[in-house]
Homo-oligomer: A and B are copies of this chain.
Amino acid sequence: MTQLRRPLTDAERLDWIRLIRTENVGPITFHRLMEQYGSAAKALEMLPELARRGGRPKPLRITSKAEAEREMQANRRFGAQLLCACEPDYPEPLAAVDDAPPVISVAGHAHLLRRRAVAIVGARNASLNGKKFAESLARELGTAGLLVVSGLARGIDTAAHAGSLASGTAAVLAGGIDVVYPPENEDLYRDIVAQGVVVAESAIGTQPQARHFPRRNRLISGLSLGVLVVEAALRSGSLITARMALEQGREVMAVPGSPLDPRCHGTNNLLRQGATLVERADDVLRAIENLRPPMLAERQRDLFSAPLHTPAPAAEPDESDLAKARALVLENLGHSPVTIDELVRGCQLSAPVVLTVVLELELAGRVQRLPGHQVSLA
């Protein structure tokens, strides 16, 4: 394989957008469809039949060319760039993630995303000292040539962006690229667009909702070699980012703090679990110095390269076999998530058959994907 990644034509990009914006299609399903059908165009063609086979009563609402075109135009007008996961400019560490967003909007200086990056995240209600620490650490890491990634939230995130604004900072939004949240960070947002880079997975214009934040967090860690958590209570969003970093094989780092401050319980807990202890910029630099940007996983390399050049649709199992398999999969699924592996073992069917059935059921809206290769009844 010589050239694994390539820019898409406008027509291809339009198909990618149509596919990922279609109801019941999440990133995992998107990648699965690409794997199965070799191109977004072919996948779009197959969608109605797949959903019907999955038992969907009314037809699947597929995003139209006009809608996708409007999204492309809105990004262009706003000055944002759309990058697809197979394209050379798409950040490689993010492309290596299992559920990499197929399409991202990027505003500001996209070239910053080529830098080695580290995420700094933490409590919204951070202490003054915590914010001071995050800001000065971000400044030093920026000066050392790293891109500092965070989530534009109050507290630690804001401090991290402020400290690295001059050297290079990336804000990842939960809503659309043009929707600032929290509103009080409007000025910071403008500064980052002017001097840094902003990234969003949601379609332009999307108002962020609670469910968008954990999804956004996987981008923060996915863009980075490691995630540093500065102050976090137990069961806080920053710990979700840390868990995602761990699942993505990234370095997890934490700043120690007083046991008397609940804002340090989450970070101290990370340390207890083996996170790298960080007291100064040098600790971060040493922790990531030997890390190389994660390469595209084998599966994704196949997905994003070979099939685009030599589409080779997989042989489909016989429909009567699939019908039996579908009944068996539904019987084995409940409202508590199980992993695909458990499902394959439980059904005693081949993995490709289970994957096909799950894909159909998902498109039909009867099954939902959850983090960690899990599924449950919708």
Contacts and interface: CB of A to CB of B under 8 A. Distances in A.
Interface residues of A, number: 18
A126 interface: no
A120 B258 CA distance: 16
Contacts of A280: 259
Given A265-B279, A268-B277, A277-B272, A129 B255 contact: no
Contact of A259 (B259, B260, B265, B279): B279
Given A256-B257, A268-B277, 12 more contacts: A132-B260, A133-B259, A133-B260, A255-B258, A255-B259, A256-B259, A256-B264, A256-B268, A257-B257, A258-B258, A259-B280, A271-B277
Contacts of A268: 256, 277, 279
Given A265-B279, A279-B265, A129 B271 contact: no
A285 to B, nearest CB: 15
18 contacts: A129-B258, A129-B260, A133-B258, A133-B259, A255-B259, A256-B256, A256-B258, A256-B259, A256-B264, A256-B268, A256-B271, A258-B258, A259-B278, A259-B279, A259-B280, A265-B279, A271-B271, A271-B277
A135 to B, nearest CB: 12
Interface in A264-286: 264-265, 268, 271-272, 277-280
List 7 tightest A-B contacts by C-beta distance, closest first.
Answer: A256-B256, A259-B279, A272-B277, A256-B268, A129-B260, A257-B258, A271-B277
A229 to B, nearest CB: 13
Count copies of this chain in the complex: 2
Interface of A: 129, 132-133, 255-260, 264-265, 268, 271-272, 277-280
Contacts of A257: 256-258
A279 B260 CA distance: 8
Nearest to A260: B129
A259 B272 CA distance: 17
A61 to B, nearest CB: 51
Contacts of A272: 277
Residue in A255, A257, A280 with the greatest tally of chain B CB atoms within 10 Å? A257
Residue in A259, A264, A265, A268 with the greatest tally of chain B CB atoms within 10 Å? A259
A152 B110 CA distance: 60
Contacts of A259: 133, 255-256, 278-280
Residue in A256, A265, A271, A277 with the greatest tally of chain B CB atoms within 10 Å? A256
A223 B260 CA distance: 28
Nearest to A255: B259
A265 B260 CA distance: 17
Contacts of A256: 256-259, 264, 268, 271
A271 B279 CA distance: 12
Contacts of A265: 279
Contacts of A279: 259, 265, 268
A286 to B, nearest CB: 11
Contacts of A277: 268, 271-272
Contacts of A260: 129, 132-133
Nearest to A127: B258
A132 B265 CA distance: 17
A272 B268 CA distance: 12
A272 B133 CA distance: 19
A292 to B, nearest CB: 24
A259 B136 CA distance: 12
Nearest to A273: B277
A272 B132 CA distance: 22
